[in-house]
Structure 1
Amino acid sequence: MSAENGGPAGQMILLNGASSSGKSSLARAVQAVIERPFWHISIDHLRDSGVLPSARIKSGEFAWRAMREPFFIGFETSLLAYLRAGNNLIVEHIMESEAWLHRLVGILAGQDVFFVGVHCDL
């Protein structure tokens, strides 16, 4: 698929695994040696950058339960925009359910995505 800028669409390496399974370490290691520029994107990066009104969620002023699904759908849809613009991505994600996986597969249909399952001992 061509990128919207006329060049090739980006490629994605999607790291799926439980919290603290090593996704961030793996993403940084891959980013350090891969032959082309790849962005490293994660929900944690958004949270830590202040995108979410975390203090107001923690105080109960805003209900995370109501914000959660639109947040994840927005995050996943933004990945498609990055790819279509020609950006290569290493994405950390947690597929909490089969429905989430099917939704993401639908959003990214036709894109060059390499799914990686990250497993760790408990």
Structure 2
Amino acid sequence: MSRASGPHPFTPAAESRGTARTPGGLIVFLNGTSSSGKSSIAGELLPILGDTYFSMAVDAFHAMRSTPPDLSPDQLRRVLLSTWKGFHRAVAGMAAGGNNVVVDHVLSEQWRLSDCVDLFVPQDVVLVGVHCPLPELERREQQRGDRPPGLAARQMTRVHAHGRYDIEVDTGAHGPLDCARQIRDFLPHRPRPTAFEQLRRAAGGARAAPKTVP
């Protein structure tokens, strides 16, 4: 029997109506600038969590893609947009299947955060702010040599602009394993409402607010 006529069981619409849903996996969402240490934290975090987790990084999705070299700037922007949107939906699908996920992402554009807030079950997300002082970011960029100079500096003011996290770590003051342990120890005691719940409520309030007449 076809299922095309009904909503997908993990759509945000089904969750927001309060209908019954299959329990999903936990999403540990690492957000920080390029070179802030998210991948290193994820690598240390998975072995110490004591449960099955999948590591999903947006860079890995970009690496999967074949892109013709003669795309116009507008075409390339559309390809990148589709990649980011597909990544978000892949994460949502894995969690909806009951899988725990550690996400490595850069929320340097507001729409990326809004898309994730709409897609993910907000009480199942632990939003982790990964911080690092700018001089250390610049040192890491130079050492890596595979990022445009100044990329982290350009992202820095935008990545954390939403201002809400469940937990924050500083990779300038602590190594990846120490940061991973901080996150692991926080998970059993995470408070409600979660940062994603607060962000969804704020977004709903902004959409419902009446327009002012000048």
CA distance in structure 2 between the partners assigned to 1:77 and 1:34 by the alignment: 24
Structure 2: which amino acid aligns with 1:25? Answer: S
**Contact 2:61 / 2:87 at 8 angstroms: preserved in 1?**
no
Matched, 1:60 2:63: no
**Contact 2:62 / 2:83 at 8 angstroms: preserved in 1?**
no
Structure having the higher helix fraction is 2
1:15 counterpart residue number: 30
CA distance in structure 1 between the partners assigned to 2:92 and 2:124 by the alignment: 11
SS at match of 1:36: coil
CA distance in structure 1 between the partners assigned to 2:106 and 2:81 by the alignment: 13
1:45 counterpart residue number: 60
* Corresponding pairs, count: 113
Matched, 1:24 2:36: no
Question: Which of 72, 82, 88 is equivalent to 1:70?
Answer: 82
- Give the CA deviation at 1:83: 0.6
Question: Which of 89, 93, 101 is equivalent to 2:113?
Answer: 101
**Contact 2:30 / 2:102 at 8 angstroms: preserved in 1?**
yes
**Contact 2:27 / 2:95 at 8 angstroms: preserved in 1?**
yes
Deviations 1:72-91 (A, max 9, x none): 11110111110111110000
**Contact 1:2 / 1:84 at 8 angstroms: preserved in 2?**
no
SS at match of 1:86: coil
- Give the CA deviation at 1:110: 4.4
Matched, 1:34 2:49: yes
**Contact 1:12 / 1:88 at 8 angstroms: preserved in 2?**
yes
Gapped regions of structure 1 (runs ≥ 5): none
Structure having the higher strand fraction is 1
TM-score, reference length from structure 2: 0.49
Structure 2: which amino acid aligns with 1:37? Answer: T
Question: Which of 91, 115, 133 is equivalent to 1:121?
Answer: 133
Deviations 1:23-51 (A, max 9, x none): 00001111010010110111222233xx2
SS at match of 2:91: helix
SS at match of 2:126: strand
* Larger RCO (alpha carbons 8 Å, 6+ apart): 1
CA distance in structure 1 between the partners assigned to 2:77 and 2:34 by the alignment: 19
Gapped regions of structure 2 (runs ≥ 5): 1-19, 135-214
